[in-house]
Amino acid sequence: MSFQSGFIAVVGRPNVGKSTLINELIGQKLSITSHRPQTTRHRINAIDTQSNYQMIFIDTPGIHIGNKKAINSYMNKAASSSFADVDMIIWLVEVFKWTKEDGRVLEHLNKIEIPVILCVNKVDKLNSKDQVLPYLETIGDKFKANEVFPLSAFNRSDTKELRRLILKYLPQQKALFDSDYITDRSQKFVVSEFIREKLMRNLSNELPYDITVEIEKFDLDGQMYRIAARIFVDKPSQKSIVIGSKGKMLKKIGQESRISIEGFLEKKVFLELWVKVRQGWSDDKRALASLGYD
């Protein structure tokens, strides 16, 4: 029996649903999600291996306009690099919505010659999928994709059909990763991302963009992981917001993080969180590199 495998970059503007779609495609939570743009900061390989294929989905930061800080430049480079050295691309757009960032993604797509599946997300908002046809015609005038596929990222029948579509273009070759891999990232990296997700979801609008997480201790003690993580903020005033009144916010973030981490590691977790001010980290290339943005 022939086997298919390859890299599939999932690209699009910020907050269009790339990470949600990938989690559905691999059948488990790996990429973090929130309603805030630029939740994803790194390229992450999410690997789905079955008896006849291995799909390696590359979750990317959304391409956005402007490089205000070093971290924005880093995210745009991470996103742009995903257009190279992949076997195919899933381009995710949102039904009836077109932004300058979508146009920037289109600029990259016009420079490549590999299969592209255009996925129009959030069609669950429509009474009928036929309503999407005028929008598809408009995009079709801008770019000729190999396939056009309307979907709701939360609909399993849609993601099942999308996998079948991917197999039309995935190369015939051996698996590129061991069958038990779900990502090429370390457990420590995934754990730090889960913590950052809870920060993104619980804190005020601007604060999450000045926050990052570093794992300082990651030890397996019998049947329990003992994990200590440092949360870096940009300003002293932000530290008190993360901690909250009588430590309530930090405790809430810790509890929610621990539940997600235990689900991922499949073991009990003892989690300690600390908050530290590191001014200017998001606009300092050396600081970014030391915190894993490299």
- CATH code for the domain of 254: 3.30.300.20
d(CA 259, CA 115) in angstroms, rounded, equals: 39
Q: Do 138 and 18 share a structural domain?
A: yes
Same domain, 222 and 83: no
- On whether residue 115 sits in a domain, the answer given is yes
- Domain membership flag for residue 172: no
Domain that holds residue 211: 187-290
Same domain, 24 and 151: yes
Cα–Cα distance measured from residue 243 to residue 201, given in angstroms and rounded to the nearest whole number: 15
Q: What one-character DSSP code corresponds to residue 264?
A: H
- pLDDT for 54: 97
**Residue type at position 21:** L
Question: pLDDT by residue (tens digit) across 228-246?
Answer: 999 999 889 899 999 999 9
Q: Which two tokens stand for residue 252?
A: 């809430």
Residues 135 and 199 in one domain: no
Tens digit of pLDDT for each residue in 10-55? 998 888 888 889 989 998 888 767 666 666 667 788 999 999 999 9
Nearest in space to 86 (alpha carbons), one of 18, 158, 11: 11
In a domain, 182, yes or no: no
Residues of the chain predicted below pLDDT 70: 1, 32, 34-41, 62-68, 71-72, 74-76, 78-80, 82, 129, 153-154, 205-209, 290-291, 293-294
Is 36 in the same domain as 86?
Answer: yes
Who's near 193: CB < 8 A, 6+ residues apart?
31, 32, 213
Same domain, yes or no: 260 and 115: no
pTM: 0.83
* 151 and 203 co-located in one domain: no
Whether 48 and 143 share a structural domain: yes
Strands 147-150, 53-59: parallel, antiparallel or unpaired by DSSP?
unpaired
Whether 62 and 143 map to the same domain: the answer is: yes
For 87-122, b/e burial (b = at least 16 CB within 10 A) is bbbbbbbbbeeeeebbebbbebbeeeeebbbbbbbb
